[in-house]
Amino acid sequence: MYAEEDFLLWVGYNVWQRSYKGQGMPVLHWLTRDEDLQAAGRADYRLLVEDPALGGGDRDHAENMMIQGDNLEALKALLPFYAGQVKCIFIDPPYNTGSAFAHYDDNLEHTTWLSMMYPRLELLRELLAEEGSIWITLDDNECHYMKVVCDEVFGRANFVGNALWEKADSPRMDAQFFSVRHDHLLVYAKDMKKTLWNKLVTDGAPDHYDKKDTLGRRYYLKPLRAMGGQGDSRIARPTLYFPLIAPDESEVFPVRQDGTDGAWRWNKDKVEQEIDRIDWIQGRNGWTPYYRIYAEENQTRPPETIWSHGEVGSNRTSKAEIKKLFPDFVPFSTPKPEGLLERVIHIATNPGDLVLDSFLGSGTTAAVAHKMGRRYIGIEMGEHAKTHCVPRLKRVIEGEQGGISKSVQWTGGGGFRFYTLGETVFDDKGQIRETIKFDQLAAHLWFYETKTPFNKPRSQSPFLGIHGKIAYALLYNGILRDKRVNGGNVLTSKMLDIIRKDIGNAEYEKLVIYGESSRLGAARLKTLGIEFKQTPYDVRSK
């Protein structure tokens, strides 16, 4: 641990002598920066090991994942499966406030905090889809340092904005200086040019839509006579000067305020088509036609940078939500309400998109994503991954009605799988560890290739299955209990016959085989419709 006065920390435009994307880039510098820039690459690559006992709901068809373990290693383990596929990342990292939280070591100094965050941001960027975005919530302790780091990692041109969330619904009267009511929400796009967001749906029509028709639709009235400019006269628009029949069957012509002949906004055809939208109002000077302007059924507006507690909830809201789920649980010090996550996920995603939270905490992001019909991955290191996140998600599946459930009409369903981090795949020499079993590597490769869980029962067959008209096989660890060349790790004509026999009459268009080496030439492989991938190199390269 470094004392704060012992390390250099430049904020703003201290130009570090390092090229960023081919250009000089203002960056933040801290004492261990050079080492931290390599941390993501040095992180061990581990297998994800499922624990079926901790999953919930319809696991067989669930793509949702709950992972317990260090999030740096978990993110590294996810790269082979989800690089470039996550539509929205939301993280609520430790705020580095100097407080001793029950569930996090939040008493981190700047260097340690930046050392933790930088490599994780690098991996998160690799997981983001081209049209994706990342949302980072922080307070004033580290927000502005994070902005400079994110400018480097994601590109300053991809900074979307800084929304302020009103986390407190009342002032602290014992505050010495400011009573802090807000947190920051830094938002970056993977590629600003490709990012498309959903606007917010308004609760109702503006106040000037002050009338309702028999169907309950709101509208307001506007004069049918053209008003203002050079186009409101009979001379300018002669085809728009014609009589309309008033309720008393009198003829009404458009007349300007100065008494000269005017013009209607609509032509005769438009009047006939929209006759039901015309209302007549009788005044001192006779009848005047107006037309109805209806409010859109689902009016939208762009999100703003001020998010009030009345719209998305406050810390008090989220503590009450957690307390209702777990009466005996001492809530996190910086919980986030479901309404806040609902807004983020609504803006940044559509149903079926993938959401990731690598600082899952009490599980709010996963719970809200589940209720909103999004796929999700949640990562949490603490034991409360099992004691709180898992039970919370199971209650969501059962149809619990807290948080946003009623507003999104949630009734239950779905499922998730629970994973822990297994042993490292590669040793110091880059070789697959001998302790990695066939079933483990088979599950890893199947998931990488198909994005579906590997559910094949244990067998003595190298054939893994068929997905999307592609058949897969793995020659590894002496699957046929024989590590000789003709036994189980090398593709030979004999081994190919065994694989084909296992495939049987199933139809496929291509066969992908992983193995140590192939005795079949490239030309023959091509003729047979086989793609050979060599272990460990084609595994490590992922």
Mean pLDDT value across residues 87-114: 72
Residue 142: pLDDT over 60: yes
Sign of CA dihedral 362, 78, 352, 306: positive
The model's confidence at residue 542, banded by pLDDT at 50, 70 and 90, is low
Answer with the residue of higher pLDDT: 154 or 83.
154
Residue 165: pLDDT over 70: yes
Residue 60: pLDDT over 90: no
Percent pLDDT > 90 in the chain is: 53
Residue 184: pLDDT over 90: yes
Mean pLDDT value across residues 503-528: 93
- For 523, the 3-state DSSP assignment is helix
Which H/E stretch holds residue 511? strand 510-515
The model's confidence at residue 512, banded by pLDDT at 50, 70 and 90, is very high
Average model confidence (pLDDT) across the chain: 85
Residue 271: pLDDT over 90: yes
Residue 101: pLDDT over 70: no
Mean pLDDT value across residues 119-148: 94
Mean pLDDT value across residues 386-393: 93
- Structural domains of the chain sorted by starting position, each given as residue range(s) with its CATH number in brackets: 46-199+301-421 (3.40.50.150), 211-294 (no CATH), 431-540 (no CATH)
Residue 286 tokens read as 């006779």
Strands 23-24 and 19-20: antiparallel
Q: What is the pLDDT of residue 486?
A: 45
Whether residue 536 is preceded by a cis peptide bond, meaning omega within 30 degrees of 0, is: yes
What distance in Å separates the CA atoms of residue 139 and residue 144, rounded to the nearest whole number? 9
- Kindly report, residue by residue over 403-448, the tens digit of the pLDDT: 999 999 999 999 999 999 988 887 777 778 878 888 878 887 888 8
Mean pLDDT value across residues 488-505: 90
Answer with the residue of higher pLDDT: 168 or 453.
168
Strands 86-91 and 354-357: parallel
Answer with the residue of higher pLDDT: 314 or 234.
234
**Phi, psi torsion values for 85, nearest 5 degrees:** -120, -10
The model's confidence at residue 523, banded by pLDDT at 50, 70 and 90, is very high
The overall longest dimension of the chain from CA atoms, in Å, is: 106
The model's confidence at residue 531, banded by pLDDT at 50, 70 and 90, is very high
Query: For 476-482, which contacts have Cβ atoms below 8 Å and span 24 or more sequence positions?
Result: 476/432, 476/438, 476/441, 476/442, 476/514, 476/515, 476/516, 476/535, 477/436, 477/437, 477/438, 477/441, 479/438
Mean pLDDT value across residues 266-289: 94
Residue 135: pLDDT over 60: yes
